[in-house]
Structure 1
Amino acid sequence: MATGTAVAWSWTEAMPTAAPPLRAPKPRKAAASASGAAGRRKRRRARSVKNIEEAESQRMTHIAVERNRRKQMNEYLGVLRSLMPASYVHRGDQASIIGGAINYVKELEQLVQSLEAHRHARLRDDCPVSGDVDSAAAVPFLDFFTFPQYTMSVRHAPATPAAGALADDGGGNAADDDTTSGSKQSAVADIEVTIVESHASLKVLSRRRPTQLLRIVAGLQGHRLAVLHLNATSAGHMALYCLSLKVEDDCRLSSVADIAAAVHRILETIEREEEEERRQQQSCT
């Protein structure tokens, strides 16, 4: 019995000695996990620091670019202001300078048109015979049009035989569609329209008629085209109208061709009504 007791005690005594090797790996795993977490935190800190540095660098670059842009804009505004008479700029802010420049350019445009009218009158007086006057003297303001959508002049028509054949419909009749220059032949006016964003520039050269300009402006407003600036110059029996237009949001005329066609219809209506009135007067007499 004593020996059995000793064996039992020896077995129970061996259990505590065998347990530590089973729990020994746990501290090593915890240490490895702690070192891995520390490494990840370091990498995250490095990435965050790098992102902060990149964001700061981008911000400083943007500030420098914006500073240079404002400096250049102020220099240009100063030059623009120096080119205008002082009466056109009431304040020194950007809006006043640009608005004054617009008015100044419009007045210069009016002056150029007036000088062209005087030149045409002088040429007409010097060359009373129509055969001695070139097309520029016979019809004033032709040089003010570059690519008109409608034209009364042969200057924009095809000059070569091949181009003339293209303008013919194949049956010996001239086509009513666009010529090779992109201009449609018109019996009432030269019309040129250009558009930049929501602003349009309109030039009309036609025969002088009573209340014609008033009806053009009213027709444009009916199409939701607001008139911002207007210059009118006459030379002999011809009149040149230059208008700056604001295309309203609800305007249905979305292209230069649409605006030119609308203006051409207005002038055709004026021409037709004038002819009817003339016939009525002749019938009464």
Structure 2
Amino acid sequence: MQGDQASVIGGAIEFIKEMQQLFHSLERKKKRRRSLSPTPSPKPPSLAAGELAAFCRSAAADVEAKISGSNVMLKTLSKRIPGQVVRIVAVLERQAFEILHLNISTVEDTVLYSFVIKIGLQCQLSVEELALEVQHSFSQESAF
């Protein structure tokens, strides 16, 4: 029982740390826009041994997909685009992913979508292909 509680608390602490890191990243991006001086984009976070992750960066969005057990942590950072979350959900559903959790955070005209998704049995995508598919959804015309 205590092991379960420790696991839940550990998970909550890790989630809070990730959210703090993302908040600071958004704050830095906001400051960069205001200063108009070019600043290098942050380096991808370091990965634990054996952890699989993919990062796609473009003018439209930054996409990160990381496998964590039987789930995938998917994060996108972009300007607000009407209907974008619907396009991402459509990509995930087409590829047999089940969305377990979605968090949406905004700062001015920037939005961070954080998904926890379960890998379906029919899923054929690698983590790199998933990141590319989601990245591609940012360039699709709105059909919704």
TM-score (norm 2): 0.69
SS at match of 2:124: coil
After the TM superposition, list the runs of 4 or more consecutive aligned residues in structure 1 that deviate by more than 6 angstroms: none
Structure with the larger RCO, 1 or 2 (CA within 8 Å, 6+ apart): 2
Q: Which amino acid aligns with 1:102?
A: G
CA contact (8 A) 1:198 1:248 kept: no
> Partner letter of residue 17 of structure 2?
L
Indicate conservation of the 8 Å contact 1:226/1:246, yes or no.
Answer: yes
Of 125, 135, 138, 1:264 maps to: 135
Give the corresponding residue for 2:56: 150
TM-score, normalised to structure 1's length?
A: 0.40
Q: Can you list the C-alpha shifts for 1:30-70, whole angstroms capped at 9, x where unaligned? A: xxxxxxxxxxxxxxxxxxxxxxxxxxxxxxxxxxxxxxxxx
Question: How far does residue 134 in structure 1 lie from its aligned partner after superposition?
Answer: 2.6
Shift of 1:236: 4.3
* Structure with greater strand percent: 2
Larger Rg: 1 or 2?
Answer: 1
Structure having the larger proportion of residues in helix: 1
1:107 and 1:249 mapped to 2: Cα distance? 30
* Count of aligned positions: 137
Q: Deviations over 1:255-276 (max 9, x none)?
A: 112212321232222xx238xx
2: CA distance between counterparts of 1:116 and 1:106?
A: 15
Runs of 5+ unmatched residues, structure 1: 1-91, 137-141, 153-186, 278-285
Contact 1:202 1:243 in 2 (8 A): yes
Distance 2:74 2:117 in 1: 7
Identity across matched positions, percent:
25
Aligned twin of 1:237: 109
Amino acid corresponding to residue 151 of structure 1 in structure 2: R
- The one-letter code sitting in structure 2 at the alignment partner of 1:194 is K
User: Secondary structure of the residue that 2:91 maps to in structure 1?
Assistant: helix
Distance 1:115 1:151 in 2: 18
**1:104/1:217 Cα in 2 relative to 1: closer, same or farther (>3 Å)?**
farther
Give the conservation status (yes or no) of the 8 Å contact 1:226–1:247.
yes
Aligned residue for 2:19?
Answer: 110
Residue 209 of structure 1, CA deviation: 0.9
Mapped to 2, the partners of 1:119 and 1:226 lie a distance apart of 32
Aligned-residue CA RMSD in angstroms? Answer: 3.1
Residue 115 of structure 1: CA displacement?
3.3
